[in-house]
Every structure is written in C-alpha cells, then in structure tokens.
C-alpha cells in the first residue's frame, strides 16, 4: 500500500450544528465567513515547504463528506487538521473518524478556542483526536509536522501511556512576518462567501484579520487561543493586504474581524492616511471598544472608507453590565455611539441576552436603552457559556446549563439564569427584534439600504421566507 506523506495536511473547517440541514440554516444564509485561521495556516505551511489543502464545510456543506474523502485519496496526507468552535467540534471528530477509516495511520490535529480551552480533556474523551494545538497555530502545526514531535510547545498529545500538554509557546508570532492567508485555496473565494446582510455596501467582499487578541477580560469571552496578548499588523502591511485583495480577487469591501481594531490608535491613523493618499476604491467595517474611539479618529476613519462600526454593548442594564465587563459605563457607551453617527458612519450594537443575573426587568431596560440610541442595526446573541470563559467555571451555580456542545452557538438558550424560563427568554428575544423592526426610523434606514447596499436587498428578498420563519421562531433552523 502507498504510504502517507508527512509533508501534507488536509485542513478542514467543520460546520457543526445540523450540517445536513445547512440549506435552511439562517446563520449560513445571513453570513458565510472564510476560515481565515486555516487560510493563514495553509500559507504559513506552504512557505515552510509543507503542503496544505483546505475543505471548508461552511462554503459547501452538501458535498463536504465527498470532498474530504476525495482529497484524502488524492493527497494521502499523514495529517488532517480541524479548526473548531464548540458547536462544530463533534462534527470534526466525525470527520477524523472518517479519515482514519479511509487512510489508516493518518493523525488528526485539532485547534481553535474549544480545544485550546479543554486541552487534555479532549484527548481523554475522544480517541479519534491525536493532537490538540493550544494557542496560536502556525508555528506549532509546522513543527508538529516536521518533527512528529513529542516536544513541540503548544501541543497536547498522548505519550508513554499518558496525556501531556507541552505548555504554551513562550512568544507569539510577529504578525507582519506572516504571509497573507492563502485565500486562493478556498474553493469559490470570494463569491462563495458573504458578509452579514446590510453589513456592507458592495460585493465581492471579504473578512480579513489585522490583529490578534484583546487585553480585556469580559466574563463571557474566551481568551484561550491568543490569551491576553494584543499584536497587530503595521499600517503598511495592512494597506498591502487590502491592495492584494483588491487586485487579485476584486474585493471592494473588507470586514476587519479583529476584536479591537482601534486599540492601537497610531496604526489606525497611519492606515487611514494610506487609504486616503492612495485610494483603492475600497470600504471597510470594524469592531471597536468604546474606550478606543474619539471623534477625530472616527472622522479620519470615515474619510478612509469606514462604512460601519460595531460596538459591544452587551446589555443596557447597568447592574448586569457591571457584573460582566470592565468599565461598565452606559453613558460613555451612548456618547460614543452618538459620535460614530456624527462622524457619518453606520452603527451596529452587539448585545447579549440571558447572562447570569438577567431577568425580565433587565431585558426591558436593555430594550429601552438600545431604542434610545441612534443605532442602525444590532446583533442580539443568546448568551452561551463557552469552555475557557471566566464565567464557565461556576456557571452551574447561576442557572440551568445544558452543556450540549452542538447547540452552543449563541443561537440557542442552553443556559437559563435563575428566575427565568427558556420559553420566556425566547419570547423576549423575538420581542426585542420585532420592536426594533417596527420603529419608523429603523425601517427608513433599511429602505435606504436599497441604494446603499443593493446586494444585501437582493439576498434578503431571495431568502425572505427563511428570514420570516426565523423572525417567528427565533430558531437557527426553523421548520419550513
């Protein structure tokens, strides 16, 4: 039998929750993001003389099993790698079993937030997992493939009848030394991917990452991969990255998928000046924390093509906010949202429902707060206590928690705080969205999207039935 190639790896991005019903999955209809971590890994491995291919189950869920088997047969790689969230982890394990049945001797490597948080427990409970990479993946995966290595830092493995974590790498990568992600290895890129509806003016568009990490410690946020570091690409690198996306793939709008785009103010200023001095006809979105914006910076960002800013609010209830986030100042948040609007930038609020301590009164307060602000759009996530978050440690004392990983995707109330029921949370969730969409100012704003983002309207109209079913049920996959 032909042997397996230790220089090769097939990288897989599993879809997870009810992959077989992906056609009716509202989260896919609204947003398909390229697996940037895997694409970065693939480019890094290629530069080291290794060979990586990618199968993204988000982009093509129907053919995922067949594509994986075909690529395994053609490549005969010694490794198969998975980048998983909590909800897609078990799907990854299923693919690892499939790969082992197809190519006996292949070894599976898992990375991402879920396994970085659980480390040894993953190997103890899942025999199909051979290695876990805890933390940043590029160098660790390359060394693992090169050295077959018991000693590679960042790896959790079985050795001598034991499960061992080799400890974190002592230093993170300098991001400017990385090659641009291998977007060309994503089948159908960029057209197979789409940003959330009404979150961009033009297509084709793409997400892109320009920094890693966040130094804050919100109770609900997992910091297992980059921990509390914050590293960033220089303005010059970032400008060249966008130019590459524009020239090679025709990208016209970029969503910076950074946790904290403006944390390093100087580099954002420099980046904006580059975009203003030598424009490429591109626009962008980013997410910020309120403490790291001011009017002068926002005006500069707007001139440089900033189309929308997303800002974490989480909840409009002051007591609840104080329990879960540093600097819980709702007046400051409101003031910053007004500044974003005054700078002429579209504003999106990021909220959460069902945090420990949440009750009907706090949800009503959140609604009043949000509706008092000039917000154009918002995203309301169903609070989910992920492994690795500070709150996960004692969440069982704070409510009822059904730890069903496949449903832990922020679209199911798996945690119900004391004093609430799941049914009531669902009702209030639907009411929150309905109340938003019944406000005349908001409706006018969406009408204006007809010319501000015609591609969004085309997608919205094409999937109207699915969006209406979601509005009625608030479920990720609503029955037709």
216 near ligand SF4, rule: CB under 6 A:
yes
321 near ligand SF4, rule: CB under 6 A:
no
R_g of the chain computed on alpha carbons: 22
37 near ligand SF4, rule: CB under 6 A:
no
Q: Considering beta carbons, is residue 218 or 306 the nearer one to ligand SF4? A: 218
Strand ranges across the sheet with 107-111? 51-56, 5-13, 77-83, 107-111, 131-133, 155-159, 162-165
Peptide bond into 190 cis (omega under 30): yes
| Region 281-300 residues binding ligand SF4, contact defined as CB under 6 A | 289
Picking from 82, 287, 36, the residue whose alpha carbon sits closest to that of residue 180 is: 36
Q: How far is the CB of 333 from ligand SF4 (least distance, A)?
A: 12
Q: How far is the CB of 291 from ligand SF4 (least distance, A)?
A: 9
**403, 114 in Cβ contact below 8 A?**
no
351 near ligand SF4, rule: CB under 6 A:
no
Q: Considering beta carbons, is residue 240 or 291 the nearer one to ligand SF4? A: 291
Q: What is the DSSP string of 436-472?
A: HHT-HHHHHHHHHHHHH-HHHHHHHHHTHHHHHHHHH
- The number of residues that bind ligand SF4 (CB under 6 A) is 8
Q: How far is the CB of 224 from ligand SF4 (least distance, A)?
A: 12
3-state secondary structure of 375: coil
Closest residue to ligand SF4 in the complex (CB): 221
Q: How far is the CB of 315 from ligand SF4 (least distance, A)?
A: 12
Q: Considering beta carbons, is residue 181 or 312 the nearer one to ligand SF4? A: 312
Q: Considering beta carbons, is residue 217 or 421 the nearer one to ligand SF4? A: 217
Query: What 8-state DSSP symbol labels residue 32?
Result: B
Largest distance between two CA atoms of the chain:
68
| Region 114-173 residues binding ligand SF4, contact defined as CB under 6 A | none
- Under the phi-then-psi rule, with left for phi > 0, alpha for psi from -120 to 50, and beta for the rest, what region is 327? left
Say how far residue 138 (Cα) sits from the centre of its chain.
18
Q: Considering beta carbons, is residue 84 or 287 the nearer one to ligand SF4? A: 287
Per-residue mark of binding to ligand SF4, 175-214 (x: CB under 6 A):
---------------------------------------x
221 near ligand SF4, rule: CB under 6 A:
yes
Rounded distance between C-alpha atoms, residue 397 and residue 35, angstroms: 35
312 near ligand SF4, rule: CB under 6 A:
yes
58 near ligand SF4, rule: CB under 6 A:
no
3-state secondary structure of 258: coil
Helices assigned H by DSSP within 148-280: 235-249, 265-277
Among 130, 139, 259, 377, binds ligand SF4 (CB under 6 A): 259
Residues contributing to the site for ligand SF4 (CB under 6 A): 214, 216-218, 221, 259, 289, 312
């Amino acid at each position: 039998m032909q042997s397996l190639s230790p220089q090769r790896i097939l990288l897989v991005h599993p879809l997870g929750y009810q992959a077989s019903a992906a056609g009716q999955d509202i989260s896919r209809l609204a947003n398909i993001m390229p697996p940037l971590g895997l694409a970065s890994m693939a480019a890094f491995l290629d530069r080291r003389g290794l060979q990586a291919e990618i199968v993204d189950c988000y982009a093509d869920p129907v053919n995922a099993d067949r594509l994986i088997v075909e690529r395994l047969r053609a490549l005969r790689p010694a490794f198969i790698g998975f980048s998983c969230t909590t909800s897609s982890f078990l799907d990854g394990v299923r693919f690892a079993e499939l790969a082992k049945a197809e190519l006996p001797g292949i070894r599976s490597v898992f990375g991402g937030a879920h396994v970085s948080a659980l480390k040894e427990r993953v190997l103890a409970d899942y025999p199909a997992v051979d290695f876990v990479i805890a933390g940043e993946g590029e160098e660790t995966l390359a060394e693992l493939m090169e050295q077959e290595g018991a000693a590679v830092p960042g790896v959790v493995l079985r050795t001598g009848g034991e499960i061992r974590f080799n400890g974190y790498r002592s230093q993170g990568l300098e991001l400017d030394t990385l090659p641009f992600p291998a977007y060309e290895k994503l089948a159908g890129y960029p057209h197979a991917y789409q940003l959330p509806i009404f979150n961009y003016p033009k297509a084709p568009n793409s997400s892109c990452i320009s920094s890693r990490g966040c130094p804050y410690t919100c109770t609900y946020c997992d910091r297992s991969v980059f921990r509390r570091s914050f590293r960033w690409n220089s303005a010059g690198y970032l400008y060249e990255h966008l130019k590459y996306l524009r020239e090679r793939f025709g990208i016209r709008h970029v969503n910076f998928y950074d946790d904290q785009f403006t944390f390093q103010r100087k580099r954002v200023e420099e980046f904006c000046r580059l975009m203003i001095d030598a424009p490429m006809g591109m626009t962008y979105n980013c997410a910020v924390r309120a403490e790291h914006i001011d009017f002068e910076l926002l005006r500069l960002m707007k001139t440089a093509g900033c189309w929308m800013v997303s800002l974490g609010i989480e909840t409009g209830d002051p007591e609840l906010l104080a329990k879960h986030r540093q600097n819980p100042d709702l007046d400051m948040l409101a003031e910053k949202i007004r500044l974003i609007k005054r700078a002429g930038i579209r504003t999106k609020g990021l909220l959460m429902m069902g945090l420990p301590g949440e009750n009907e009164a706090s949800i009503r307060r959140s609604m009043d707060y949000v509706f008092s602000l000039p917000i154009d759009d918002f995203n309301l996530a169903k609070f989910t206590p992920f492994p690795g978050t500070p709150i996960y440690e004692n969440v069982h004392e704070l409510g009822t928690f059904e730890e069903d990983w496949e449903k832990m995707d922020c679209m199911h109330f798996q945690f119900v705080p004391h004093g609430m029921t799941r049914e009531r949370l669902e009702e209030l969730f639907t009411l929150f969205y309905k109340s938003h969409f019944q406000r005349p100012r908001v409706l006018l704003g969406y009408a204006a999207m007809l010319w501000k983002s015609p591609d969004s309207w085309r997608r919205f109209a094409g999937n109207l039935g699915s969006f209406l079913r979601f509005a009625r049920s608030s479920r990720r996959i609503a029955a037709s």
